[in-house]
């Protein structure tokens, strides 16, 4: 039965007052929306210099039915790109806008997917800390600093840095990261 037909049948039962009809309509709306699975959402924390790879991961996450909030997809991004290309020095107002906007976006999602890559990003590390330690939300981390190999010169801590290991669910391959996010999404639908 379609929604209009269901509403018509609800409203045609006996002599209903306007208040009763309104309550019935609210009940029908609740019945049709409460059974819908919640679309999970993630914030994609990643280095600015890896925006293209971030877009690739974003498409893969969206194909799983996950809503992705990408910090580099915003109205002001063109202005910020110009600053980076010219001098790299943001005004204090721009810094405040970027940080506060990103924090609000993280507040609005269910989890964070973080790309910790050879191109280091202080923003990504801050977003991981804020999400995991302050908000106590899950962080799925692709840890690509060592390409899955022990390298004492670049990491100094073995495969995964203690802060990343403590605050996130770290994965050494994209495939394992995406599998973990898919499992999380399936459980929370």
DSSP letters for 169-185: EEESSHHHHHHHHHHHH
3-state secondary structure 5-57: HHHHHHHCCCCCCHHHHHHHHHHHHHHHHHCCCCCCEEEEECCHHHHHHHHHH
- So where are the chain's domains? 3-34, 41-188
Contact 115, 142 (CB under 8 A): yes
Query: What is 41-188's CATH topology?
Result: Rossmann fold (3.40.50)
Mean pLDDT across the stretch 67-82? 92
Q: pTM (2 decimals)?
A: 0.76
3-state class (DSSP) for residue 90: coil
Q: Which helix (H) or strand (E) holds 67?
A: strand 67-69
What's 113's DSSP letter?
E
3-state class (DSSP) for residue 119: coil
pLDDT at 103 over 90: yes
Mean pLDDT across the stretch 133-151? 80
Tell me what percent of the residues of the chain surpass a pLDDT of 70. Answer: 74
Phi, psi dihedrals of residue 75, rounded to the nearest 5°: -60, -35
Cα–Cα distance for residue pair 113/142, rounded to 1 Å: 8
> What pLDDT is recorded for position 11?
42
> What pLDDT is recorded for position 188?
86
Alpha helices in 120-173 (DSSP H): 122-129, 162-167
């Amino acid at each position: 039965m379609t929604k209009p037909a269901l509403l018509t049948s609800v409203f045609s039962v006996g002599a209903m007052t306007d208040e009763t009809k309104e309550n019935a309509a609210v009940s029908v709306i609740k019945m049709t929306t409460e059974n819908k699975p919640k679309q999970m959402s993630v914030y994609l924390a990643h280095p600015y210099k890896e925006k293209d790879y971030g877009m690739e991961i974003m498409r893969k996450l969206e194909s799983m039915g996950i809503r992705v909030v990408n910090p580099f997809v915003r109205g002001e991004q063109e202005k910020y790109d110009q600053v980076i290309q010219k001098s790299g020095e943001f005004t204090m107002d721009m810094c405040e806008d970027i940080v506060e906007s990103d924090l609000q976006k993280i507040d609005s999602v269910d989890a964070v997917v973080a790309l910790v890559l050879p191109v280091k990003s202080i923003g990504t590390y801050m977003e991981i800390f804020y999400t995991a330690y302050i908000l106590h939300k899950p962080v799925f981390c692709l840890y690509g600093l060592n390409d899955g190999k022990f390298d004492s010169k670049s990491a100094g801590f073995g495969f995964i840095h203690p802060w990343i290991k403590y605050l996130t669910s770290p994965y050494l391959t994209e495939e394992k990261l995406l599998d973990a996010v898919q499992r999380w999404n399936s459980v929370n639908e």
